[in-house]
Structure 1
Amino acid sequence: MSYIRTVEPSEATGEVAELYAEDLEDHGYVADYTRVMSMNPEAFRAFEDLMRTITPNLGKRRYELVTLAAAQALHSTHCRLAHGHKCLTFMDVDELERIARDYHDAGLSEAEVAMMEYAEKISTEAHTITESDTARLRDLGFTDREIVDITLAAAARNYFSRAIQALGAAVDVPADVSDRLRGALLAPL
């Protein structure tokens, strides 16, 4: 459990109850990170709204690959598991395991690898990014809008991952994530 006192699902009202109900519908349980972030439901909703403005232009696959790379750089068990689970809606387990273990050697396109490297760099040493980093992405076919959205997706993952880590949210393992997939998602951490 987290370092702060959160609202029990049976006691939730208003916006907190709505957030909990969404988790129950989506996951079958209320994730601890939802309980923690629902202490400020307006900020949680603002984060969700930001993600909804970024994802459509990038597409789910690119968004989730950026998220996996940023989460790896941040050592975020929470986000690697949650977003690894989300990846299963558009890729098979074998591909996800290869990407999770080493995306450089997973059969991804050069553009996808570069995008993930950029997301990692944002998460570990954003101060060293130069025009050559974005030029590489542009040379691989990304538009300036996509480069901005990749940057926003990685930076937003930094915000969310760091917040739930700092607040001590417990790690939830989605029920249909096998031990083997969990091992692959967490191995690079």
Structure 2
Amino acid sequence: MTWIRVVNEDEAQGEVKRIYDARMGGRGYVSTIVKAFSLRPPLLAAWQQFSHTVTFGGSSLGRLREEFIAVVCSAKLRCSY
């Protein structure tokens, strides 16, 4: 539960809905970090593009190594993302 106003999945429209649908995948929910940008659709779209560019495939390590690093870091930091 966030303490700032966000657009929830059932309220999403237009660009926000398109991004939410893409981010949900098989999870069935949108993470709070994505929702934090939801009141500013252009910012949400820019963050989505930035995130896609720098995450998984943005380096010469390869997807497998990048995902391994992400999992290890998340576990070490006790992060659910």
TM-score by length of 1: 0.34
Tell me by how many angstroms 1:51 deviates.
Answer: 1.7
User: How many residues are matched?
Assistant: 77
Tell me by how many angstroms 1:53 deviates.
Answer: 4.2
Tell me if the contact between 2:56 and 2:67 (Cα under 8 Å) persists in the aligned partners. Answer: no
Cα separation, 1, equivalents of 2:13 and 2:80 = 25
1:44 aligns with 2:44: no
Distance 1:62 1:36, change over 3 A: same
One-letter code aligned to 2:54: L
Deviations 1:50-98 (A, max 9, x none): 225425x32222011111232234x24222xxxxxxxxxxxxxxxxxxx
Tell me by how many angstroms 1:4 deviates.
Answer: 1.4
1:62 aligns with 2:65: yes
TM-score by length of 2: 0.66
Larger CA Rg, structure 1 vs 2? 1
Cα separation, 1, equivalents of 2:33 and 2:70 = 16
Tell me by how many angstroms 1:24 deviates.
Answer: 3.4
Deviations 1:25-51 (A, max 9, x none): 332222333222444312232122222
One-letter code aligned to 2:51: F
Higher relative contact order (CA 8 A, sep 6+): 1
One-letter code aligned to 2:73: A
Deviations 1:115-156 (A, max 9, x none): xxxxxxxxxxxxxxxxxxxxxxxxxxxxxxxxxxxxxxxxxx
Cα separation, 1, equivalents of 2:53 and 2:26 = 17
Tell me if the contact between 1:38 and 1:44 (Cα under 8 Å) persists in the aligned partners. Answer: no
Matches within 5 A, 1:122-133: none
% same residue: 23
Cα separation, 2, equivalents of 1:15 and 1:76 = 32
Secondary structure of 1:20 counterpart: helix
Distance 1:22 1:69, change over 3 A: same
Alignment match, 1:72: 75
Structure 2: unaligned runs, 5 residues or longer = none
